[in-house]
Structure 1
Amino acid sequence: MAQLSTRCIWLLFVVSVGALAAHATTGLETSLGALLHVDGLTIIMAAVVTFVSGIVHSFAQRYMAGSQHIGRFYGRLFLLTLVVLLLTAADHLALFVACWALMGWLLADLIGLIRGWPQAQAAARRARWSFLGGSALLAMALGLIALHTGAHTISQALPRIDMLPAGTQISVAALLIGAAMVQSALIPFHGWLLSSMNAPTPVSAFMHAGIVNAGGLLLARFAPVVAASPGIMLAIVGIGALSALLSQAWMLIQVDVKRQLGCSTVAQMGFMVLQCGLGFFAAAIAHLILHGFYKAYLFLGSGSGVAMKSPTPKQQTPTGAPALVVTGITALLGGGLFMLLTGKSFTAPDGGLLLTLVIVLAVLHAAQTMLRSTALTPAARAVAVPLVVLPALALYALVYNGIAARTAGLPMDVAPAEASVLHGVVGLLFVLAYVAVERGWHRERPRLYTVLLNMSQPASSTVTTHRSEYHAN
């Protein structure tokens, strides 16, 4: 079972890559009646999903070796992969909802893979109820679309979105955003994700690298609905910014490896949704792809991140004017490089300014992290830091451009949101958050530390407090 499903997934990956190449050269698109429609976004997501699933399938052959649950694990994982592939291609509104609901149900079943482990079953129940709620929100949204447009497929309904009354259009957008928030574990719906740490590591890898990202895919598919109102787009920016900033603070005070990664995922999903609110849906898809690859790697390697080590003297972090010059110049070069490669401009009054600011802060943080983790001479740092950080940023920009090229002309290809006061406030909050992290305010203020720790706790029923509770199963 394990080898057969693994080989089938890798075969699907090869087919997906072939389809992606055909789309790049011929613009391949096809439909299967009113059920399926394969376009550029479908093919891109198929290649990503099958690649991550193939890695997880291969890794799990050793991880799950000897487990009495291996048959059920591979059966659920293989079926979940197929359901996600079907979701990315689904055109009929009812089929899209059915795939969305089944995706959540299968994931919850994998979280509670070990039937005799009470904490794992509690985590599965929490996830299952969350997904049921998200599926209900999605079903109501698509039901309203079908009712007012008379269309039963996504491709037919989106051009008729203007037929929805103003109040109904806002309601549909709110329902879609709610479904995306639940799926991507954005605040306040993050509880199911932070409570899912009892899931087997391969499940966590596939969940954080793929399934959680479905919220961004949902917003991209129905971009004309959420982008129809500037107010809705601003709300999405606010929702994404809140999750990104607060969950990043949570991550800083975690001591458990998987819980750190869980908080990081919520933060990354917040940034992904923020990009959707700025109107850069291609950037959001690029972000979810690169984050998915990286997060799968971190989860699958989380076991090697736990080791017994003797205390060592704290390494002196390079400070002073030379370090500030290196990091500052690298950050500015990074922002300029991103704008150059993606066509952003300081003179364009749109959300690209906020996106560029966040990129500059991310580059600044990456440069600072490199300085802390390497013992190089000032001259070597001046060369090594930009030499490592800037090519990574260029790769992100090129992936972004590639996604934009493959999805050009699709409904998600909308105009960027105009710059607003809220964008400025969010940008200021990101700058303040960066300063707070660099100054270590979360460590120096016990009350703040305690508040952040309490806010990021999983459900108590999902926490295993005694080793015997696990080994009994």
Structure 2
Amino acid sequence: MSGHSSKTTVGALPDTTVESPFVPVALTWLVWSLFVASIAALAARVRFGVGGWEIAGVVAIDGLTVLLWAVVTFFSGIVHSYSRRYMAGDAHETDFFVTVFGFTVAVMGLVAADHIALFGLLWLSMGLLMAKLIGIVSGWKQARAAGAVARWYFLASSALLGVALAALWWATGAATVSGIAAASETLAGPVWLVAACALVLAAMIQSALVPFHGWLLSSMTAPTPASALMHAGFVNAGAILLIRFAPVITVDATLMLGIVVVGAASALLGKLLKSVQSDVKSELGCSTVGQMGFMIMQAGLGFFGAAITHLVLHGFYKAYQFLGAGGRVEQTAPTGTTEPATSVGGVAVTLLTGLAGGALFAVLTGKGTSLDSGLLLVLFVVLTTLHAARSVVQHTSLPATVRYGAVPLVFLPAITVYALVYTGIEALLTGLPVVTAPTELTALHAVVVAVFLVVYVAMEAGVHERSQRLYVVLVNASQPSFGTVVTSTEDYNEY
């Protein structure tokens, strides 16, 4: 069977303006009001330099805060509006909206929190609310199991963050994030090492980096709008944690290199795991694992502004992908044909396009113009943007030979936008203790990059597809927790 063989018989969608429960309506309007207020705060910060509001020792509102407020409330507003129809008539509708709004408020509080106890409490609340969304359908045992899996991961992340915050308080005597940053020059020794490693591990769990990606791939029971919020917002918390405590983790260059290695491993493994998925949501989940790897790598290179830029742009892209996942399933059908092998001309066009994009990014941002980790930043930005551009072109109906010529037409404007957004965000983050801290390149950096490029090129060439053993390993590594797997259609019936 190929193409569409069924007629469109779906009736009119429910009118959400008629007999809609009060709570979803009220919370949708409220979250959009928060978005308007966040945009006003962001505009005031950009136009007049207004900002730096604080309640001493409790909250501190800076450029990062108002940026993430605008981003989070926008995504939440889209999810609320989308869910008005998606969740219409569902027995859990009101509970779903209350939980999504509560999650939004928790994230808004987290990015403004200065006291470490408040920061830790909001981190825990954010995780528990997301776990509730994953298992929101209480009558569905697989959903309950998925929520429980996620909850244990998030509790582990919160425990690690608690250890880190306690160790930093012990080492510096400061009970605020800003106070710890101010005293970071005194950090050293075993207490610092425990705190720094705990921070990195907490970020890895929250961002679903390998080997902590199991909770994300087990979360497919979550309603699609909740998945969009998860992949566009929740997993980005790892970067938020690292930039807030950047003065702590930048103390030692070896730790920063370790973060790069962790990110590189997740970027590659996410791409590999994606190649063996058979359903749209699992494929998008593995894609998120890979993209979070690139984001953490940028932080490890010392470019925290770039990590936040990646967070924002990936959030927009992944929210769109999840909310449009149903349409993607409808439009996909077996064709009985295979893609032609990559030609020498296509490889040449891709390389030249990448070089041109890298030069353009360097000129627009000033990064990669000296012999430091900025060179690696440019390389990884080119790889991610080029991969996205090729994916866009490959989903068109253009002939294969024409697609290679179309890649530069998509890639060069895309990397220009990336560079301009990065420049703007970096300017907005001015005033944070650490925004850019490029590290000196070493032989170990060269080894990591060489291994990464060899594996990445091999995957692009399809070398991994020739090994049946590797295929089995990847399938096993991407399996969700056993209790979350739906084995029959009757399992969907919560009643």
- TM-score normalised by the shorter chain: which range applies? over 0.9
Could you say which residue in structure 2 is the equivalent of 1:312?
335
> Structure 1, residues 213-242: CA drift from partner, whole Å, max 9, x if none?
101000000000000100110111111111
Which segment drifts farther, 269-278 or 299-308?
Answer: 299-308
User: For residues 359 and 378 of structure 1, do their structure 2 counterparts lie closer, same or farther at Cα, with a shift above 3 Å needed?
Assistant: same
Letter matched to residue 419 of structure 1: L
**What's the TM-score once normalised by structure 2's chain length?**
0.91
User: For residues 120 and 173 of structure 1, do their structure 2 counterparts lie closer, same or farther at Cα, with a shift above 3 Å needed?
Assistant: same
Q: Does 1:109 align with 2:132?
A: yes
Q: Secondary structure at the match of 2:111?
A: helix
What is the CA distance between 1:375 and its match in structure 2? 6.0
User: For residues 284 and 83 of structure 1, do their structure 2 counterparts lie closer, same or farther at Cα, with a shift above 3 Å needed?
Assistant: same
> Structure 1, residues 373-396: CA drift from partner, whole Å, max 9, x if none?
556589976764322211111111
Structure 1 distance, partners of 2:338, 2:241, is: 45
Would you say the 8 A contact 1:331–1:363 is kept in 2? no
Letter matched to residue 413 of structure 2: P
Letter matched to residue 330 of structure 2: A
Letter matched to residue 452 of structure 1: L
Structure 2 distance, partners of 1:124, 1:380, is: 45
Letter matched to residue 97 of structure 1: G
Could you say which residue in structure 2 is the equivalent of 1:173?
196
Q: Does 1:215 align with 2:238?
A: yes
Letter matched to residue 419 of structure 2: A
Q: Does 1:239 align with 2:259?
A: no
User: For residues 101 and 386 of structure 1, do their structure 2 counterparts lie closer, same or farther at Cα, with a shift above 3 Å needed?
Assistant: same
Would you say the 8 A contact 1:176–1:219 is kept in 2? yes
| Aligned-residue identity in percent | 51
Q: Secondary structure at the match of 2:60?
A: strand
Q: Secondary structure at the match of 2:136?
A: coil
User: For residues 93 and 382 of structure 1, do their structure 2 counterparts lie closer, same or farther at Cα, with a shift above 3 Å needed?
Assistant: closer
Aligned pairs for 1:92-103 within 5 A: 92-103=115-126
Structure 2 distance, partners of 1:157, 1:310, is: 55
Could you say which residue in structure 2 is the equivalent of 1:87?
110
Could you say which residue in structure 1 is the equivalent of 2:373?
351
Q: Secondary structure at the match of 2:372?
A: coil
Would you say the 8 A contact 1:334–1:393 is kept in 2? yes
Could you say which residue in structure 2 is the equivalent of 1:259?
282
Structure 2 distance, partners of 1:469, 1:377, is: 42
Could you say which residue in structure 1 is the equivalent of 2:16?
none
- 1:413 pairs with one of 429, 432, 435: 435
- 2:93 pairs with one of 70, 75, 79: 70
Letter matched to residue 282 of structure 2: R
User: For residues 159 and 329 of structure 1, do their structure 2 counterparts lie closer, same or farther at Cα, with a shift above 3 Å needed?
Assistant: same
Could you say which residue in structure 2 is the equivalent of 1:7?
29
Letter matched to residue 151 of structure 1: A
Structure 1 distance, partners of 2:214, 2:388, is: 29
Q: Secondary structure at the match of 2:330?
A: coil
Structure 2 distance, partners of 1:115, 1:373, is: 37
- 1:449 pairs with one of 468, 471, 479: 471
Aligned pairs for 1:188-203 within 5 A: 188-203=211-226
Structure 2 distance, partners of 1:309, 1:269, is: 27
Which segment drifts farther, 354-363 or 179-188?
Answer: 354-363
- 1:431 pairs with one of 444, 450, 453: 453
Q: Secondary structure at the match of 2:228?
A: helix
User: For residues 321 and 263 of structure 1, do their structure 2 counterparts lie closer, same or farther at Cα, with a shift above 3 Å needed?
Assistant: closer
Would you say the 8 A contact 1:113–1:120 is kept in 2? yes
Could you say which residue in structure 2 is the equivalent of 1:342?
365
Could you say which residue in structure 1 is the equivalent of 2:491?
469
Which segment drifts farther, 424-433 or 191-200?
Answer: 424-433
User: For residues 308 and 415 of structure 1, do their structure 2 counterparts lie closer, same or farther at Cα, with a shift above 3 Å needed?
Assistant: closer
Structure 1 distance, partners of 2:81, 2:436, is: 38
Would you say the 8 A contact 2:140–2:492 is kept in 1? yes
Structure 2 distance, partners of 1:311, 1:109, is: 37
* Count of equivalent residues: 472
- 2:209 pairs with one of 181, 186, 198: 186
What is the CA distance between 1:206 and its match in structure 2? 0.4
User: For residues 336 and 470 of structure 1, do their structure 2 counterparts lie closer, same or farther at Cα, with a shift above 3 Å needed?
Assistant: same
- Unaligned runs of 5+ residues in structure 1 are none
Aligned pairs for 1:7-406 within 5 A: 7-28=29-50, 29-307=52-330, 311-314=334-337, 317=340, 320-346=343-369, 348-366=370-388, 368-369=390-391, 372-374=394-396, 384-406=406-428
Structure 2 distance, partners of 1:355, 1:284, is: 10
Letter matched to residue 471 of structure 2: Y
What is the CA distance between 1:322 and its match in structure 2? 4.2
> Structure 1, residues 113-141: CA drift from partner, whole Å, max 9, x if none?
01111111111111111111111111111
Structure 1 distance, partners of 2:377, 2:457, is: 18
Q: Secondary structure at the match of 1:169?
A: helix
Letter matched to residue 90 of structure 2: S
Which segment drifts farther, 316-325 or 52-61?
Answer: 316-325
Letter matched to residue 388 of structure 1: V
Q: Secondary structure at the match of 1:127?
A: helix
Q: Secondary structure at the match of 1:37?
A: strand
What is the CA distance between 1:33 and its match in structure 2? 2.9
> Structure 1, residues 318-365: CA drift from partner, whole Å, max 9, x if none?
85454344322211111111111110235x221111222223334554
> Structure 1, residues 36-82: CA drift from partner, whole Å, max 9, x if none?
10000001110000000000011001100010100100011111100
**What's the TM-score once normalised by structure 1's chain length?**
0.95
Would you say the 8 A contact 2:305–2:436 is kept in 1? no
Structure 1 distance, partners of 2:350, 2:294, is: 23
Structure 2 distance, partners of 1:168, 1:461, is: 39
Would you say the 8 A contact 1:330–1:363 is kept in 2? no
What is the CA distance between 1:366 and its match in structure 2? 4.7
Could you say which residue in structure 1 is the equivalent of 2:11?
none
Structure 1 distance, partners of 2:193, 2:259, is: 13
Structure 2 distance, partners of 1:69, 1:376, is: 44
Structure 2 distance, partners of 1:183, 1:417, is: 25
